[in-house]
Structures are given as C-alpha cells and as structure tokens.
Structure 1
C-alpha cells in the first residue's frame, strides 16, 4: 500500500516538475508544521508544550549533590556559577518558567526529600531529549538522543568541588552563598568538613566511573554505571566496581513503552506496568539515585530509596503518547519523493523483516522488535553445549570460544556490551541470601557471588516495593496504568491557564517532592514473608501486580509453595533448555521500528556509524574515525555532520567497545539504490 502511495506521488511529481516547486512528500496523516519557541524549533510529536515542560522538569529521584551547594558552586575555568556552564558539556540551557522557576538547564531539577533536604539531580530528559542543528536552526526532539557528555559533566563537578575545598580564596565566597555573609566560624567549618567528605566520595565515584576509552558525548555505559552504583557504592563494596567501558548510544524513547523487550540487548521484559516501573527505577539508580541495601526485616521487607515511583509511572504513561518526529522539510530540505518511492520497495525487500513499519496514522499498543544474534552456535539444539560456550565466553573471552569452535562470529556489532551485561559477577555482601520479592511471593535468593543482573534486579524490586508499601497511591497508579487508564500527564501536573504565575511556580516547585510525601504509616510487609498472615486489600493488590510481572517467575501464588519449592519441582532438562534459550536470545542486539530514525544519529547500538548512508555500506568502507558531539545534522547522508565546528569529539572505531562491524544488509545494493533507500528512511 505504501509503495502505491509513493508511486502515485512520484508520477505526479514528474508531470509538475517542469513548471512548479516539487510537492512535499506524502504523509500518512497531517503533521503540524514546526513551532518556534524561544528560538528553538519543536516538531509535532503529539505532546503539548505543558506536557513537554512537565517531562523536562519532573524529578525521578536523582540526587547528585545538595541543591544549595550546587547552585553556589563556581566553575574554576570561567569563575561563573557552575550551573551556567552545563551547556559546555552538551546540556542545553532552558528558560525559566512555571515548570522551571530557577531556570535550570534542560534535564536538571530540584529533588526534595521528605525531610525537606533539597538536591540537584537529573531528570529523564537529561539523557532523552536531543537538540539537532541544521541550516542554522535548532530542533529540540523529545525522546531523542542527548548531546550531553555525562563523563565530562561528572568530572567537571569533581574538579569544581575539589577546587572549592583546596584552593585559597574559593571556599569563603562559596560559604557566603550557602550560609549567608553573617554565618559564624563554626558554621563555616562544619560546611567545609561536609564538603570535604562529599569531595572524597565524589572523587572516588568519578575514578570508578572512568573508562579506558572515553565515551564522549551522546553515549554512556549504562549497565556499567548502574552496576557500579548498586554493587560498589550502594553495597559499599569497592572491589565490585569495573571500568564502564562498553558505551552505548542513549536509546530514543518513542515506541519504547510498546516494545516487548527493552535495552539494546533486550535484557528487560516489558509486559506490564510493574516491568516498566522496574526498568525506569533501575535507570534512576544509575544516575545518582540512592538505595539502602541492607538485610530486610519481616515488617520492613523492602529497601528504602530515593526513587520517585509515582512520577515514573506518570512519565511512562506520557511516553506512550509520544510519536516520532517527522522529517522537517521546511528546515532540513524537501524529501525527493521520486527516490523515496523507489526506496519504499527496497525497504520492503531488505529491511522490513527486522525493522517493522509503524504508520503514524494508526494507534498501536505493540512495537515489534527483532533480535539479531551476535554469534552462530554450532550446536544450537544442544543446550549443554550452548551453556558451556557461554561459560567459556565469560571466563576466557570470546576469542577463546571461537578458537575452541564453540561459537562462530556473527557480530551484528561490537559484542562487548551484551557480553558484559550477562557475564559480570558481583559480591552481594549484606544482602546475600535475600530474595526480592520474598520467596513466598516468588522471589529467589541472591547467591554470593551472583550475577550483576540478578543483584540489580533484587535492588530494583526492593526499591519498588519500598515505594509501594510507603505510598498506597503508587500501587493504584500501577494498576490503572496497566489497564490502559493512565493519562498522558497527571492532572496535578498541568496548571490551568487561569492560574497565576506564582501559583504555577509553587506547584512546579512542589512537583519534585510530590512522590516523596507518603501518606500515613508504611504497610506492614509481614504477610509477604510469613505464610498464613492475614492479608489486607492493599496486600492483595500488590500480589496481583507481581503476578502480572515478568520479573517474578514462577507466577506469584496467593498462597502455596515458595519459589524455591517450585524450582525443585521443575524438570532439570527443561530448566537447562530454558537457560540455553535465554543465553541465545540475550547475546543479540535489538532491531526496532525505524520511525524517526533520521533524528537518532550516530548509529548502531554503540554509536559507531556516523550516518545512515554508511549504515548501508559494507563495514570495511565505513569511517574508521569521525568527529561528533554537537548535534549538527548532515541532511544529505542523514546523520552526524562531522565537519561542523561543534563536532569536537573524535570517535575511534578501533577502541574496545567501539567496533563498527555488522549490519551489512545494504552491502549488495548499488549506490543509486542506497540513495533511494536513504531518501525513504527520511519519511519514516
């Protein structure tokens, strides 16, 4: 159907080309033209400006440092307030307004604890809102890849804090900004000691987060950072830290809530609202969220954390409404519809089997994905040999397994991220032997050591349970969200036009603290741990949510045998086969729908290919290195404009984790066909 539409449009174009401007490319549904606000252009992505600003400025529980300290911090290079320097690390400035009364950079927010302590932290938008510049205009794309350099930011904060505590003449004005000019010497000394303690902790954190190969902007080793945070910092076991040297591009978020598996390697199931909350809670723990990991008690069977569960559920509901950005003809140049018509056929022949089309004119609840294997298994039907090959990969490395003929290389791209995520082991310390959720509810005890994935899952589920038992409204939000009843933006997050500016600012300032004001006494968790303990309606609601989750297997019984008993009853041969199948599924990278792909450079899971044209070349013909970083768009090859002055980071594909091999599905095409397919990709 799509090919016929393009064919008709192409014929019309040829008839009119001699006497008129070429028509705009056909669109499946009407798309509103770009809108300019405060010098930035926004595309039609199905969000209102209020909804967008709410998303930019809603806390998820990230706490980098005390808010008053951060706002008083001076940039050692410019001597200006450090908060004004974040644009130097790729994080755009944002105008002050009802959602952002302090005028913080986009993606940063004040987070307020129940005890009223205020923190400076990151929102989801810090990593998942992208600015692209093309033809002198800046496009702000919701759900796209950030231009931010996370390592550059945290290392700069480290330097600024250390300068404040060690360089003569810097601390006194800092203390004046924090305490006021009339503070006494004892207050100043106490502040200095507190700042020195933070300096030591943060310096250690940055050292443990320093990769051998720089990530640069627009990338991070997400799993490495989360694993380090939970296993090294939250558990206070420094030996668990590893250099985070398997960087990936920040994934774009449109369609993500509708995919059955998320993360580049499809690690996390996404079958329920509880699954989605777990995915987002894990992300929070990787960006300065805190979780207290200590052995739980029968009445306190959960972990305390800074995760703002109700905000995360609301944001996931809003993201379900987000649509991909349509190529902006008026800004980036009109699509050649004759080439695009030919490209539509090429897409059907070469791409659609992995990259499903999601027409903008249709409502969808599922966004199908395809997992492309990293390896060929010589004995795919022998689960014992698959597991043996996996164990060799983890203990001796990929090349040893290849040499032993246990696997053959079938790289879709650099395999380091997927292998690291599955193979990494951690000392589980104080929570060894703890099941989250409790065994009675289907949880499994942590071993010691155990996989980093199991440790993270334990921490995330414990943190979510903590949020649920402290705030009954969260479980109701999850149930409503899972039934499709969630709204794009909570009513309390959308001030009416009739509100005064002061009312709007007050509501915005309270936003970050809204989820951290649990009403009443936390729920007694004894019924989750002790068989036969009486259940309340609230307990039953929580159990029903766990039953629907992919994170708890087997399904949680309302009463009956524990998970341990269920595991003993399982057929060993079936369990071995399931484990082998899981290994094969997860040692792969995800091919997802490509709507809006034009706005998501650089490409491959690790950002190792600068543009879509090179994605259609044989791997040997791709750039061995290229410059990137400022969000400049090349509208011809569709991707990073390496010649732009803002492209200052040199990406070297020879470095570990940066391989640009694989995905050679366009290698057999002629160059003419590549340009046709490229033109069609602009229209998705």
Structure 2
C-alpha cells in the first residue's frame, strides 16, 4: 500500500532509546533581543492546544511500565527545559489551565527548537527545525490507550494513578466514558493519517494533519463530529522550517499558499497551526441560516498566540559558533551574488529584497519568491484535496473576498481551512471583546481610532478584511510545483535540505542529483565541513531513503535545485564558507 516511502530504522527500537545529548550545553548567539527571559517564555507559553487532561499523561505508561513523562519525552528527541513551571516537561510542552482544569499541551517551540552535537558539545538553536520523532509519540500514545481500554488491569492501574486511592465504581465508570469519548477521534486520526513506515526524525506532514484534523474531526454533523472519509494518509512529509525572519516573509509554508508578513496574517498562520495540534475547534450552525459560531467551545488562546509571534520576531538567525576563513567568506559572497546561471544563489531567489506591502506592517516585508526548481511535487496533491464540508456547508463571510462564496457540500479542503481560520479571527472580538486584539490595534490603527470604540471596531473589521482577503490561494491545475525561496540567514542550522529534507548537507546539495546520497541517517550529530548532518549518528536517529527524479511525486525525491552543481571544488568550498557566515 505504501510505495515510494522512506525506509526507517526500527521505530520500535527507536521508541525505547532515549535521546542522549552531549555532556555540555551551549546556546547559539541569536542576537541581543533574544534573552533568557524570552527563551523561557517561548519554551512554554500556552497557545491553546489541548492534547488530553494532564493527569492522564502523568499516569500514562509504556509497555515496560515506565511513565511517558519519566524521561521528559527524551526518547522522541524532545529537549530538556530546566525552567519549565512543571518539572519534567520538555521544551514546547506545558500544563495549560482552562476552566479550572489542567491539560497536557504543546506550543510552537516543540517543533521549532533544535539541538546539534559537535565535539562533545550540544548547541541549542531556538527557532530551528526540531530533530524529533513526532509520529512515534502519536503512535505510542495511541497504543497505550488501546491497552488501557482493552486490559482491565491496565485500566485499573491508570484509574488509580489518575484518581488516586481506590476509585469507586461510579468514578471508574465516568473515567472510562471520558477516555472512550476522547480516544475515538484521537485513534481515528492516528489510524487513518499516519503512514507506515513513518515520517522519522525531523520530518512531518503538517499540512495533511491540519487538513485531517479540521475536516476529519471537527466539522461533522454528528455528535462525534468525525467525518472519516475526509481523512487521508499524511504521506507528503517535509522538514520543519526555521522561524527566524518568518514574521517578515511575504509568504510562508513551503508551497506559499498563505500570505504572510503582518500581525493579522501571522495570527491567521498560528490559528491554523493550533487547529492542527490539538486545538479544540467545534463550529456550529446558529439559528440564522448558514451563519456559523466558529468559536463555539474553542480553546484558542489569542493573547498567547500574539505574544508568541512577538517573541518569534526577537529570534535572530544563529551565528556560526566556530571559526571562519574570512578570505573564503569574501570569495563565497561573490559567488553567492552571481547570476544563478553562473552558480549564484541570491538574485531572484535568496536575496534580501523588498516584498509585498501589508496592511499592518509599515516596515515592509522580505520578498519570498515561489519557484519551481524541479523538487518533489507531492505536497501539491495535498493542496488539491476536496472534502465534505459538514456543518460548514453553505457558510461564507460576505465581506471578505476569497471566502465570500458559500462552501458547497463538497469543496476544496483549503477553502474549509481558510474559512475556519478567518471566521475564528473575525469572530474573536464578539466573544472576547475588542481588547483581545490590542497588540494588533497598537501597531495597526491610528490613535484617533483607538479613542472611539465604534470607530476602532469598524477599522478592525476593515483591516482584517483587507489583510485576510487573499490569505489562502487555491492551487491551480498546472504542471508547476512552486516552493518558497527563503533568505539564507542561519541556513547552516537547518539541515537536511530541500523542503522535504531529502539532502543531508549543503555540500551534497551542490552535487548533481545522481551523486547526492540515496540514503542517510537523520539525527543530532553535525558535520561542520559539509554543513549539515554527520554521516554517523547516535542511537537517536532514523534512516532516510531518498528517491531519484523518476519519482518526483513520491514525497521523498532528492531531485531538483541544481544551482551551483557546476562550480569548481574551490568555488563550492568558498560558497559553503559564506553560507556558514550568514
């Protein structure tokens, strides 16, 4: 069933092997604005994800009896967070409070904090693409709850850990009911989404998982809200992107399907992300025809999301922590700035250039070109998907072009997501008051408008409409598969390369496709010469097998981006030295 997938080393063995870092931990230099206080906040700020009641994850056990949190999720590659308010939780995970209850939650730093190992030192890089195995975590949680629900002894142990003491029959009955209700959608998305073999370390199919959660678990008309037919295999895995400079790109996501570059668009990007990682989204029809309450029972944490975006703006690209040959850097800069036909990188692709104007960004954006350079095309199959619209059938937002046409009973899944995100933002002031957008108001509205609540409300609506009108673009039916070309600052810390992580080092990316590694290990060991993943990795790693150009649509093709392959060895060495310096 699963053809043209990467082959991974035994995930079962991996799951039992905790990630062991080098003895010494150092933090990369990421600018004067990135302080320890900023880092601590970034590591555990609530954005609204709700995985499960916190008492459940504390009680959850592996098959060998070890508790899930005993190693701080280190066996999946997640990193220790000594400043966590809840001891033992790693970077990106927290115990979130809502309505007097505590929930196991995750935030964006779980997927965007990296650690690399060189010479006995672990370098922490904030905002870097994580080297974690998220799929194994999802699978292991699913297996653990299956055992709890099928094994009386396991359920009894779980109940005692959750409830304490000797629970009454009534307490046991209520707990089992709660677990059954929670497990049905969780097991459905794991069973229907996660491919085998899996994504492995450092990769995931985030777009498919967001689509699957919103369309498959959240908008059904039945009590369960599940529409199983809307869930498909998440088999277009890509590498995690880096976050520095992300707020000022004029496009984001690898295929560039969402506009970006100001606070409103950043909020939209982050709302979609939360809906993909366990955010509660239960839209319902109101008494008015085709009018939706998008924030019915929503868990979105708007202040947290806007604060996280502010923190991300403070993360500068990491500086290369080792020595550089300045003569080679200068030579490499000349090569980098050549015309791409002569092996250059900047012009038209990776240069810092003025981007599209945005409604609430008066400093401007960086241009993020979308180019088809022959790389893997599978993600475009995801963007073209259609799904049943469930409770959103007929819904629209009349005053925003792009979502002003009613959804059909079956429609583009990107339209379902776009309407869900935009509706959730437009509706927020009605649920939480205008102050919920105060950080955006401060940046975006003139002082005179803020003095009048009615004027401010009108301006907020108009600003939102202007910013969001082209947020989501539907992919055209054409043989062109365009992905973003980002500015290269900090690129040395983002291996493996290409959007799908199919090339282990920058040195390999400068080789003809046939000479790029057909397989390599993905882990934390770093090669300072080749600039990327070391050939030999530790116990925490997975083996990735890449396809050639004959399988461009497999999700794993190492094809494309052949700029620079004809440079001389000396020119390639100089170019790599320059890329280290960015």
Q: TM-score, normalised by structure 1?
A: 0.72
Structure 1 residue 668 displacement after superposition: 1.1
Counterpart residue number, 2:264: 274
Q: 1:192 and 2:187 equivalent?
A: no
CA contact 2:524–2:537 (8 Å) conserved in 1: no
Q: 1:67 and 2:66 equivalent?
A: no
The partner residue of 1:609 within 494, 503, 514 is 503
Q: 1:181 and 2:165 equivalent?
A: yes
CA distance in 1, matches of 2:247, 2:51: 27
Q: How does 1:229-248 map to 2 (within 5 A)?
A: 229-235=213-219, 236-248=226-238
- Range moving further from structure 2, 280-289 or 439-448: 439-448
The partner residue of 1:461 within 411, 422, 425 is 422
Structure 1 residue 216 displacement after superposition: 0.7
CA contact 1:614–1:622 (8 Å) conserved in 2: yes
Counterpart residue number, 2:546: 653
Counterpart residue number, 1:540: 458
CA contact 1:218–1:249 (8 Å) conserved in 2: yes
State the aligned residue count.
526
Structure 1 residue 111 displacement after superposition: 2.2
CA contact 2:283–2:294 (8 Å) conserved in 1: no
Unaligned runs of 5+ in 2: 1-21, 220-225, 339-343, 354-361, 448-452
Counterpart residue number, 2:346: 352
CA distance in 2, matches of 1:469, 1:289: 20
Counterpart residue number, 2:124: 140
- SS of corresponding position for 1:324: coil
Identify if the C-alpha distance between structure 1 residues 272 and 642 changes in structure 2 by more than 3 Å, giving closer, same or farther.
Answer: same
The partner residue of 1:109 within 94, 114, 139 is 94
Q: 1:591 and 2:513 equivalent?
A: no
Counterpart residue number, 1:444: 405
Identify if the C-alpha distance between structure 1 residues 215 and 437 changes in structure 2 by more than 3 Å, giving closer, same or farther.
Answer: farther
Identify if the C-alpha distance between structure 1 residues 83 and 468 changes in structure 2 by more than 3 Å, giving closer, same or farther.
Answer: farther
CA contact 1:94–1:105 (8 Å) conserved in 2: yes
Counterpart residue number, 2:210: 226
Structure 1 residue 189 displacement after superposition: 2.8
Higher-Rg structure is 1
Q: 1:127 and 2:120 equivalent?
A: no
Unaligned runs of 5+ in 1: 1-36, 375-410, 486-534, 555-577
CA distance in 1, matches of 2:465, 2:265: 11
The partner residue of 2:562 within 648, 659, 664 is 664
The partner residue of 1:317 within 310, 317, 324 is 310
Q: TM-score, normalised by structure 2?
A: 0.84
Counterpart residue number, 2:19: none
Q: Provide, for residues 210-230 of structure 1, a one-character-per-residue CA deviation record: whole Å limited to 9, x for no partner.
A: 125521111111110000001
CA distance in 2, matches of 1:141, 1:621: 30
- SS of corresponding position for 1:230: helix
CA distance in 2, matches of 1:223, 1:352: 28
Structure 1 residue 38 displacement after superposition: 10
Structure 1 residue 325 displacement after superposition: 0.1
CA distance in 2, matches of 1:370, 1:232: 32
Structure 1 residue 50 displacement after superposition: 0.8
Counterpart residue number, 2:386: 425
CA distance in 2, matches of 1:456, 1:641: 38
Q: Provide, for residues 184-214 of structure 1, a one-character-per-residue CA deviation record: whole Å limited to 9, x for no partner.
A: 2221232133223433432222112212552
- SS of corresponding position for 1:170: helix
CA distance in 2, matches of 1:174, 1:551: 48
The partner residue of 1:636 within 516, 529, 535 is 529
CA distance in 2, matches of 1:84, 1:198: 25
